[in-house]
Amino acid sequence: MAEEDDVMSNLRARGILAGISWAHRSAYEQVRQDYNPAGGHTQGWIGYNAHIYLRDRLDRVFQCETYAVPPGHDSAGRDVLAEGISDRDSRSMPLLPAGTVVRSDLNGSPGWSAAGWRWLLASYEYGQVAKIRWTERSETKQLVARQPHAVDDGGLFPLATLPGLPPVNSLPDHERELRQTLVLAHAMDSTTTDFEVFFGRIRWNVDHGDAWAWRVDLQDNGYSSPHKAQPGPTQNLARTAGDTVEDADVRMRRPARGENGPRAIGEA
């Protein structure tokens, strides 16, 4: 099975792609609602706030960080997960078992892991997803783009051109995570307020070629539709729980969120 098919079918079966798509839609609809160009908001404002909202929504739907489940509980509770977002978003938010996805940051860049795969966030200029120059991005994104991959895209670092490379299952945990790190790229047009989101493996495009070994448009493939998570074997990066979790009756107080922001918009 091709890497893209393996990743997407695995994440979809667990309801994770539905969670990612919900997080993106909720975050960008909030950006669109708050955006006020006449009041001085710029493309930089969009990028910064989209990053903050998207990080929050991903943590929220996957019950990570601020929304983590305290010991002895099965879920953070619908009321806690719904606090601060619209009724529409709270009603449409997929409810996945806690622990299906875990936080897995890389060099200060927020990341999430599930089923053996990690993803980071990256913003870009709307409509230019294929032209992102990873060679000009942060050291973290450059590191990810340089990783060998299973796709023979005619460029640098496909596994077929690297004989003797240790198989991923033989690598230490931190090297395996790095080898299997993907990117969730997001953008919004400041004039039309249209937005888009892509998910996939980035490539070291020093050749000025496509920025991706493979990518999927999450808005055009039905991944945002509700999808019941299916049980699967325990993976090395995130545990898989049962199919359903009942709403908690007890409200849990969330700890205050730190105010430390990213070093750059969607970059670390």
What is the per-residue pLDDT across 44-100, written as a single tens digit (0 to 9) for each? 999 999 999 999 999 999 999 999 998 878 888 889 999 999 999 999 999 999 999
| 3-class SS string, 246-262 | CCCCCCCCCCCCCCCCC
> Given a cut of 80, is residue 20 above it in pLDDT?
yes
Provide the pLDDT confidence category of residue 164 given band limits of 50, 70 and 90: low
pLDDT of residue 41: 97
Q: Burial, 214: exposed, middle or buried (Cβ in 10 Å; 0-12, 13-18, 19+)? A: buried
pLDDT of residue 166: 57
pLDDT of residue 114: 96
Are 74 and 248 in contact by the 8 Å Cβ rule? The answer is yes
pLDDT of residue 247: 35
pLDDT of residue 150: 75
Residue 60: which of 107, 24, 28, 14 has the closest Cα?
Answer: 24
In whole angstroms, what is the distance from residue 33 CA to residue 230 CA?
Answer: 34
Tens digit of pLDDT for each residue in 174-208? 777 898 999 999 999 999 999 999 999 999 999 99
In whole angstroms, what is the distance from residue 67 CA to residue 70 CA?
Answer: 9
Are 33 and 117 in contact by the 8 Å Cβ rule? The answer is no
> Given a cut of 50, is residue 110 above it in pLDDT?
yes
pLDDT of residue 172: 55
Q: What is the mean pLDDT of residues 153-174?
A: 55
> Given a cut of 50, is residue 246 above it in pLDDT?
no
Tens digit of pLDDT for each residue in 117-156? 999 999 999 999 999 999 999 999 999 999 987 776 555 5
> Given a cut of 50, is residue 229 above it in pLDDT?
no
The strand pairing partners of 106, in sequence order, are 109
pLDDT of residue 212: 96
pLDDT of residue 70: 83
Q: Give residue 133's identity as a one-letter amino acid code.
A: R
Question: pTM of this prediction?
Answer: 0.79
pLDDT of residue 156: 55
